[in-house]
Structure 1
Amino acid sequence: MTTHTAMPNHKVHEGRNIKRFREMLGIKQDALAFDLNMSQQAVSLLEQKETIDTPLLQKISALLKIPVEAIQNFDEEQAINIIANTVNTVNDNATGQVFQINPTINTSEKWMEALEEIKRLNEDKIALYERMLKEKDDMMAKYEQLMNNR
């Protein structure tokens, strides 16, 4: 099995990784911006930065419910190489090839399951927020009606 080390001149782009995880989780820039108390344009600029200040990175990772290390260490090029090398030919004979699946695939599946769970939780959070906004609107309408009846 081939092992891969990071390329010496290749740096992980933290902003791009934030964007990738955000998109995988189905979170819009506006929603992340709201949670970070900044504008959508600021989030867009943040996603273009190669490195992010640690306190902000920690806040973003907490909001996305993923480890800081995932943002700091995810390297798409390396991930593609690892995935490409998870299927190794064990035996090539007249009956055909026998493949061995590396357990790395299980790790990817676990990541995808975790990301799907986070996405579901975020959808629940959005639904709750929308219900709260509707209740606020209903209360405001009742208040306005009471004020008009005076």
Structure 2
Amino acid sequence: MSTLTKSNHIGRKISRIRELRDMKQEALAQALGTNQQAISALENSETISDEKLIEVAKALGVSVEALKNFSDEAAINYFNNFYDNSAKGQILNNSCSNLTFNPLDKLIEAYDENKKLYERLVQAEKDKVEFLEKILKDK
């Protein structure tokens, strides 16, 4: 089998994406309303109808184009782009770099809210003790 045919084998691409998403054939079958044997046959197919491809892409949570154009090399390159190997594996795409709030302010707000809740709890306990003492005096 030539490498060209192998790279265009849509069933293998579906299988690979399913595996990368840590999904079993049974789970994909359930999402498509079919059985595991049908998924196995689907993954062994070199071509699949566009309608079925749309259903599979939706079940896998990817676009049809991603299914058609998938390659292991592209996936590896995609994940490698998140890491700078010279920076000892630190993530380059820092998700905290575009925050619209000051994290320290949020921490202080959480601390103040926690303090208020604690004060309410202490007051509730004081009220309970006072109520129980009143009941004991009345007896």
TM-score when scaled to structure 2? 0.49
Q: Which has the higher contact order (CA 8 A, sep 6+)?
A: 1
For normalisation by structure 1, the TM-score amounts to 0.46
Compare the two structures and name the one with the higher strand fraction: 1
